[in-house]
Structure 1
């Protein structure tokens, strides 16, 4: 995060699956998930609410089934988080 006047205020560091890097210096309940922007982790559970369902970055899986047809209804971004995103959690 940056302030217009002072530059960087916090570092949000995550791997490609959304697991928070221990060297992050932010204790904000918000977290950055790739091209999807910022998502809430307000319950301090480690889960991310991504508009439609909860995602567990440690498991690299959603916790509920995708309503859109897919062979594995729990995966994130077709298991290609570097090249694909799932902006609606579907």
Structure 2
């Protein structure tokens, strides 16, 4: 076997270029097609993204309402605590 023939044979085995390679190329292409099909099946559609966006907007709206309610509660507690402490301070000031 000449060096040129051996070189061509080695390239053929490494790259799967020969027709008589036992169907290796076809198996590899089938595996690639299967992998691509899995990737494509996992893509999101515009409708999926729009649905997620609507869910997020709804949840952020509820979060805003909850935060406003908590803020209102905190202001009331702060005001009540301030008034109570002022009353205690004035009462203590009377007795001194």
TM over 0.5: no
Higher relative contact order by CA 8 Å / sep ≥ 6: 1 or 2? 1
Higher helix share: 2
The structure with the larger Rg is 2
> Which TM-score tier does this pair reach, normalised by the shorter chain?
under 0.3
TM-score, normalising length from structure 2?
A: 0.18
